[in-house]
Each structure stands twice: as C-alpha cells, then as structure tokens.
Amino acid sequence: MHDLSDLLREYDRARAYTDDLWKDLTPDEVTWRPHENSSAIGWHLGHQAHVAHFMIRNLTAAEPSPDPELDALMDSANPEKFRGALPTVERLSAFRDTVSARVHARLGDIAAGRVGAPAQLTVVGAHLLTALINHEYQHDQWIGEVRAERLGHALPPDPASDRLGRVDGYLVLDPCA
C-alpha cells in the first residue's frame, strides 16, 4: 500500500488529467449534453468533486459542504432530468479546487498524526484516496469520449505514472503497484 503523500500526488495527477480534458473547452461544450438522458461534461466535473467531499466527510471528518446548492445536482442518485441547470464553469472549477484543498488538508492531518486513531485513519485514507483517484479516472473516460467523439477535440496523453494501467479501457491506479 502507498503512503498518503504518494497517493495525494497521484490524486493531483488525476485531477490534472481531468483539467487537460476540459479546461480548453468552451463553456457551451462543458455544459452540452449529448442527449436528454445524458450528463454534460460539467456535471461529471462537479460529481467528481462531490463524491470526494462526501467520502472525506463521511469516512474521516464531518464537515459542511463547500457548496450545499450543488449537493443534489451532483448526486448521481438523482435522475438526470431532475438535477437542474449546471452552474457556471467558474463555479464548477472553484468547487473542484475547494474540495481538493479539503482532501489535502484532511489527509495531510492524518499523515501527520494530527487525528484520533492515526494508524487506523491512515489505512482508511489510503483506500479512500485510491477510490477517489479511480473515480476521477472513471469519469475522465466518459469526458474523454465526449471530448473526442462528439466534440472533435484531440485527447491529451495519458498521465505518466508507473502506478497507472488500464482495465476495461479505464485508467486505474493499482493500489499494490
């Protein structure tokens, strides 16, 4: 199993890859939906951060949502047609950055032993970060498909890491590599 510092670097690498997939797109491309029962790239961006926030909150530290108005919108349990309008690209980006900062702060506290049960939370944190990284890449697959196949943009190269591979076409972090 990797240490938390290494996993935080992998988390940053995954987020940077996501940024490579969307930051050069227009706001219209980020909010465009291929069809009525399909989510826009922007939804996937918000959902990635939403899941990271809720996993950190529920598994390591109870804390309020950084943007409560986005909670229902970014929850995949809500059918697409009931989610509502996407926020601006700027708000999505700020949400992602805030959640990332919170992930780093909480896992940094765990790595430094500034929590109750630091050894137990280190195990939880390592699995949590691995899940967050793989969830980021899971949604990157869909974002990349829409980017390339529907919007006609080239894909960036895969992130460079000896710990990454592909399973069923998806980038994944091998927790044992």
Query: Quick one: DSSP state of residue 146?
Result: I
Q: Is 14 a residue whose pLDDT tops 60?
A: yes
Q: Is 1 a residue whose pLDDT tops 60?
A: no
Q: Is 94 a residue whose pLDDT tops 60?
A: yes
Query: Which pLDDT does position 80 carry in this prediction?
Result: 82
Query: Which pLDDT does position 84 carry in this prediction?
Result: 81
C-alpha to C-alpha distance for 19 and 38, rounded to whole angstroms: 21
Q: Is 83 a residue whose pLDDT tops 90?
A: no
Which residues have a Cβ under 8 Å from the Cβ of 19 and sit 6 or more positions away?
none
pLDDT band at 139 (very low <50, low <70, confident <90, very high): very high
Domain annotation for the chain: domains and CATH numbers: 4-173 (1.20.120.450)
> pLDDT exceeding 70 applies to what percent of the chain?
98
| Residue 137 β-bridge partners | none
Q: CA gyration radius for the chain?
A: 16
Which residue in 115, 172, 106, 112 sits closest to 138, CA to CA? 172
Give the distance from CA 155 to its chain's centroid: 18
Burial degree of 65 (CB within 10 A; 0-12, 13-18, 19+): middle
pLDDT in tens, 25-35: 999 999 999 88
C-alpha to C-alpha distance for 136 and 144, rounded to whole angstroms: 12
Q: What is the mean pLDDT of the chain?
A: 94
pLDDT band at 107 (very low <50, low <70, confident <90, very high): very high
C-alpha to C-alpha distance for 59 and 117, rounded to whole angstroms: 13
Query: Which pLDDT does position 81 carry in this prediction?
Result: 79
